[in-house]
Amino acid sequence: MPVVPRPARPASLAASLLASLLVLTGCAGSGGPGGSASDDTPVEGGTLVYASGDAEPTCLDPHVGGNYPQALLAGQYLETLYTKDEEGKIVPWLASGAEASEDGLTWTLTLREGIEFTDGTALDAATVKANIEHLQDPDTASSTGYLAVAKIKSMDVVDDSTLTLNLSAPDSALLESFSMPWVAIESAQALERSQADNCAAPVGTGPFTVSKWTKQDSVELTRNEDYTVPVDGADHAGPAHLEAITWKFIPEAATRYAALQSGTVDMIDNAQPDTIKAAEDAEDIDHLDAPRPGASNRIELNSSKAPFDDAKVREAFIRAVDVQDGLSSLFFDTAERSYSALSSVEPMGYSDESAFERDPEQANRLLDEAGWTDRDSQGYRTQDGKRLSLTFPVSTNQSVPAEQSLFQQFQATAKEVGFEVKLDLLDLSSWYDVLGENHYDLVSAPYTKVGPDVLSILFHSSNTVPAPSGYFANHAQVKDKKLDALLEEASATTDADERQAKYTEAQKIVLEGHYLLPLYDQQNHFLYSTDLHDVGAMTAVASPTFHDAWLAK
Amino acid sequence: MTPVSSTMSSLPGPFPRGPGPRRRPGPRRRPGPRRWPGPGVILPALAATTACFLVLAAVVPWWLAPTDPLAIDPGAAFSSPSLSHWFGTDESGRDLYSRVVHGARPSLLIGAAATALGLGLALVLGLASGLGGRWLDAGIGRLVEVMLALPGLLLALVFIALAGPGVSTTIVAVGLTTAPGYARIIRSQARALRGSAMIESARVLGHHPAKILFRHLLPNALGPVLVLATLGVGQAVIWASALSFLGLGEAPPAPEWGAMLAAGRTYLGSAWWMTFFPGLTIVATAAASTVLGRSLQRRAVGA
């Protein structure tokens, strides 16, 4: 009699699936140990365990490429020439000052003295020169830092603490650029190493140093025992209170929050709206909301090809989708709607609510006018037999689940007027590839930069051409001569009022051209254990620094 | 005739046709008062009901769930199960009951198509190996062993990495993964049948080889495999769900069980129903297919 061999058992698989579900839910219910601080005297020592939901950088040197995950980490071991104070003013940090010539083409930068890198070399004018050259070197493949220092044509070392910068055009955003971690200053000696070595452990002047990087797991940061705050008058000028930081990568939002709840990590970034809401009721978890400067989170409409080469179709899309309802329910009122190309922390942001009012009827009218009059069997509009279809690549590394759900809602509301939106969830490198190949109609890309000059990066026609890293930031592919001129003038002027007027004018052109759909500020929510004290110090791009922080444990 | 290869000698004889062996005579129960039917009856009945419901959901989802599974209603997001939303709603206010029902079609389709593909491939490999020469048998045997050596899901992931995610890729990936197991069974059946008296007589009678293959060999070799396939559909549904859970199956927001699980896991702490009901459905599907398969199996061997 034949015996049929036993197959793999689906039932047992199913059972283990159920079991793991139960374990997961069980975990989510338990809270961390409730520790209350005894007093305000900082405790020395201890290791902060930080869990980041951002993509793990491929290089720890923020000069290379230049994205936010790199800035988050680099803020711990690198410092910048300038920074932003609590009022949002740009103030000197490693530099002691900068002076522009009358025509704005020559800047004299002076440096503080007595600052040492963790490899023992001293900070001097030649070091700064080497750093800017490193950013401009095509081999470095910098995109963010490269654009920030693009106008520096040449540099002359006057003496150890004085550097002259010769610009190709006046740059009113220069000091703002110098405040960003992507233009942080590294040891010149360390920069001479191979790129692989420098990526693994950049050398800076910061309160921590990179001691070990276990790929796909964590970066170990150790206290710089010789650290002193470069500026005078700090309450706490010496080395950091924390002995070390373990910087983990936990991409899964629910896992990250569960780790915080259970006490295995002390702080998480990219906190999800539902967890922020839940944390409000948790006694042992605090919330830090720090919107990033630069651009707002927005959807850009690729105007370089059909169907969005027609402004009417662009406007129709913007009028068709429902942002507000989804925003309230998905983000639990933790995110406020934006009507501006710029972040709400940018003083020169210009908002226009009327440009983004939802109006499906007008959207239908506009599409009729644009010639998309027929509908196919599925209800999508067509023209000459071609469906009104939009490709929307979404980087899973740069968007939170709530945002992805919001995009799905856009897909549903856009369908009501006849747009087909094809959502494509991609990892970061595939997403870059798709953008590079111009295979997109809609895209949402965060761009963090200090100051309104981010407008030039996002909307100047020259930025439809890729930077050495292959990335270009003008995703809407706006090519408008008048806009280009305005952006150049705004960047050249030294007069604050004139600068504001020009940037406002430029933003009007962008909003009226229907190139983008602003959603909300770049969400930057942190949740941390109440055991962690004196959190809140930030770099100019709103990434936390832990020089003052301490753990009561 | 060719001797049965040594590896096969331990395997039992061919699948019987005609009247099966008699049940072992056991002590007969007296027809007493009505007894509660044992699990041997209830489980298959339950499984059959579940299977009927699933097939109905796959064929005519609109009968069971008239609500549009894609219709959003942000105002009603995260509603817990109620009379208006039996399974609650998801983060965009979509009705989860409707999504689960409409998710039956892609899931079962993937499960069935993948199993069919696996079987088809296995039939070619198994018959070629079982009926072909020694070299062919050895060659195919090694290939099947290599495929079996790799964990199934890994094989599927590798294939998806090469071919890119999507429904058809998922079908092929899961089909490829299940093929080697089936191929082995078909081979052993073919091997055993080849030496059986039935085939020998057919040969002696001068039947055409094709006729022998299709009339005698295939039906006998396929029997146990079809039973296995019933079990396999459940397995394939789980794999397909696993792949879409990882974001490698149908693109969101299509109602697909694995993708729904993935979407719900973010809100596991606050909206348990988003994962519970799709998860329960996957479990029920797999369980139903297992129970049905087992009972078919028992019937086939007459145990």
- The helix or strand, by DSSP H or E, that contains position A510, with its residue range, turns out to be helix A496-512
pLDDT at A14: 42
What φ, ψ does residue A376 adopt, rounded to 5°?
-90, -175
3-state secondary structure A252-309: CHHHHHHHHHHCCCCEECCCCHHHHHHHHHCCCEEEEECCCCCECEEEEECCCCCCCC
Where are the extended beta strands (E) located within A150-192?
A: 152-159, 162-167
According to the model, what pLDDT value does residue B147 have?
87
Whole-angstrom distance, CA of residue A257 vs CA of residue A276: 10
Q: Which of A148-152, A162-166, A462-466 shows the lowest mean pLDDT across its residues?
A: A462-466
Answer whether B263 touches A (CB < 8 Å): yes
Q: Which residues of B touch A325 (CB under 8 A)?
A: 74-75
Q: Is the pLDDT of residue A398 over 80?
A: no
A38 to chain B nearest CA, in Å? 31
Nearest CA in chain A to B181: A7
Please list every residue in chain A whose beta carbon sits closer than 8 Å to the beta carbon of residue B279. 17-18, 21
**Type of residue found at B117:** L
CB contact under 8 A, A7 and B228: yes
Q: Does B232 touch chain A (CB under 8 A)?
A: yes
- Please write the tens of the pLDDT for every residue from B98-109: 999 999 998 888
- pLDDT-based confidence at residue A4 (cuts at 50, 70, 90): very low
Q: If you average pLDDT over residues A210-226, what whole number do you get? A: 95
Q: Does residue B136 surpass a pLDDT of 80?
A: yes
List of chain B residues whose C-beta atoms are within 8 Å of the C-beta of residue A409? 72, 74, 92
pLDDT above 70 covers a percentage of chain A that reads 93
Which pLDDT score, from 0 to 100, does residue A409 have? Answer: 94
- pLDDT, average across residues A441-468: 90
State mean pLDDT over B262-270. Answer: 85
Kindly determine whether residue A412 and residue B253, on different chains, have CB atoms separated by under 8 Å. Answer: yes
Residue A116: closest CA among A221, A226, A223: A226
Q: Å from A349 to nearest chain B CA?
A: 29
Radius of gyration (C-alpha) of chain B in whole angstroms: 23
Partner-chain contact A254 B189, CB within 8 Å: no
CB A119, CB A189: distance < 8 Å? yes
DSSP state of A143: S
CA distance A262 to A264: 6
Give A480-498 pLDDT, tens digit per residue. 999 999 999 999 888 889 9
User: In whole angstroms, what is the distance from residue A283 CA to residue A112 CA?
Assistant: 43
B34: distance to nearest CA of chain A, Å?
Answer: 31
Q: What is the DSSP letter of A335?
A: S
- State the burial class of residue A220 (Cβ atoms within 10 Å of its Cβ: 0-12, 13-18, 19+): middle
What is the pLDDT at residue A28?
37
| Interface contact flag, B252 A404, Cβ < 8 Å | yes
Closest C-alpha to A478, from A455, A462, A459, A505: A459
Q: Which of A10, A411, A425 sits opposite B238 (nearest CB)?
A: A10
User: Touching check for B15 and chain A: CB below 8 Å?
Assistant: yes
For residues B242 and B248, what is the distance between their CA atoms, to the nearest angstrom?
Answer: 9
Confidence band (pLDDT; 50, 70, 90) for B302? low
Gyration radius from chain A CA atoms: 25
Interface check B270 vs A, CB under 8 A = yes
Question: Per-residue pLDDT for B7 more than 70?
Answer: no
Determine contact: B67 vs chain A, CB below 8 A: no
Q: Tell me, what's the pLDDT at B21?
A: 46
Count A/B contacts: CB-CB distance under 8 Å. 137
pTM: 0.79
Contact B74 A329 (CB under 8 A): yes
* A116 has pLDDT over 80: yes
- Whether the per-residue pLDDT at B296 is higher than 90: the answer is no
Q: Are A7 and B232 in contact (CB under 8 A)?
A: yes
Per the CB < 8 A criterion, the answer to whether A351 and A316 are in contact is: no
* Least CB–CB distance from A2: residue in B13, B238, B272: B13
- Complex prediction ipTM: 0.73
**A100 with A87: CB under 8 angstroms?**
no
Res A135: pLDDT: 96
